[in-house]
Amino acid sequence: MTNFEFERIQKILIKLKSFRIKEQPIAIPVDMQTSEGWQPYAQGTFFGSKNQYYTFKGRIHIPADWQEQTVAIRIYTSLNEWDNTTNPQMKVYLNESFVQAIDVNHREV
């Protein structure tokens, strides 16, 4: 490899670094609506039965330096990534407006 090729590759890598996706795997605290009102939901706690509906709510803070960026949230509806036989589904609302449906095959909003 020539010095020119090395410098060119180095410049390209520096440029590519600026396009890196910033991921922060955060479990967002959510509340679950129960007969007693809204209760904090502990991640991994089993709930539900067949053909039942549940409501969760949470708050997401977008950091100031992300305001001009494309931001995605991934929602996992199952503890077991490989098992979609139960196919839990949910609707996602943002500021009380419907955004999209989520299931084990469609996780990103």
**Is residue 93 domain-resident?**
yes
User: Which pLDDT tens digits describe the chain residue by residue (109 residues)?
Assistant: 899 999 999 999 988 887 776 665 557 788 998 888 999 988 778 777 777 788 888 888 888 888 888 888 888 766 665 555 667 788 888 888 999 988 878 888 8
Domain containing 69 equals 24-102
The token duo for 66 is 């992300």
| 16 inside domain | no
Name the domain count of the chain.
1
pTM: 0.59
Within-domain flag for 4: no
Buried b (16+ CB within 10 A) or exposed e, 53-76: eeeeeeeeeeeeeeeeeeeeeebe
Residue 92 in domain: yes
